[in-house]
Amino acid sequence: NLLSEILLRLPPDPSSLPRASLVANRWLGLVSDPGFSRRFRPHHHRNPPLLGFFESSHFEPTMDSPNRVPEGRFSYEHTGNGCFIPFGCRHGLQLIFHQSGKQLHVRDPFNGDKRRLPVPPGFDGWETPISGAVFRAAGDIQHFQVVLVGTERNNQHHTRVIARVYSSETGIWGNLMSTPLPPKASSSMDQHPTKIRMWFTISVLVGHSLYWLLTNISAATNMLDGILEFDLERQTLAVIPVPVDIANNCLSQFQVMQAEGGGLGIFFLSKFSAQLWKMETDSDGVASWVLGRTVELDKPLSLNPEEEESLIIGGFAEYNNVVFLRTPTNFFMVQLESLQFKKVSKSNSLTRYDPFESVYVAGTGIDGGHDGAEFFRNT
Residue 258 in this model has a pLDDT that exceeds 90: yes
Q: How confident is the model at residue 312 (pLDDT cuts 50, 70, 90)?
A: confident
Mean pLDDT lowest for which of 77-81, 251-255, 266-270, 289-293?
77-81
b/e per residue, 155-171, with b = 16+ CB within 10 A?
eeeebbbbbbbbebeee
Q: What is the mean pLDDT of the chain?
A: 83
| Residue 25 counted as domain residue | no
Provide the residue type at 65 as one letter. Answer: S
| Whole-number Å distance between alpha carbons of 130 and 170 | 23
Closest of 165, 90, 170 to residue 354, by C-alpha: 90
Q: Does any domain span residue 105? A: yes
**Mind listing the pLDDT tens digit for each residue in 43-57?**
998 899 999 999 888
Residue 5 falls inside a structural domain: no
Give pLDDT tens digits for 121-176. Answer: 888 766 677 899 999 987 788 899 999 998 887 655 557 889 999 999 999 999 99
Write out pLDDT tens, residues 9-22.
999 999 999 999 99
The yes-or-no verdict on residue 288 having pLDDT over 80 is yes
Q: Quick one: pLDDT at residue 252?
A: 79
Considering the domain boundaries, does residue 39 fall inside one? no
Domain-embedded: residue 275: yes
What residues contact residue 350 under an 8 Å CB cut-off, 6+ apart? none
Where does residue 21 rank: exposed (0-12), middle (13-18), buried (19+ CB within 10 A)? buried
pLDDT band of 327, cuts 50, 70, 90: confident
| The pLDDT of residue 177 | 95
CATH, residue 243: 2.120.10
Q: What is the pLDDT of residue 238?
A: 94
DSSP state at residue 250 = B
Instruction: Give the total number of structural domains in the chain.
Output: 1
In this prediction, residue 195 carries a pLDDT of: 32
pLDDT at residue 190 in the model: 44
How far apart CA 333 and CA 327 sit, in angstroms, is 12
Residue 177's CB is within 10 A of a number of other CB atoms, namely 17
Asked, for residue 320, whether it belongs to a domain, the answer is yes
Please tell me the predicted confidence (pLDDT) of residue 159.
78
pLDDT at position 191: 47
- With residue 30 as reference, give the H or E element that holds it: helix 25-32
Question: If DSSP codes are grouped into helix, strand and coil, which group holds residue 39?
Answer: helix
Q: Which residue segment(s) compose the domain that 168 sits in?
A: 45-181+196-357
More confident residue, 360 or 209: 209
Q: Is the pLDDT of residue 306 over 80?
A: no
Residue 367, in any domain of the structure: no
Q: How confident is the model at residue 371 (pLDDT cuts 50, 70, 90)?
A: very low
Report if residue 19 sits inside a domain: no
Strand, coil or helix: 19: helix
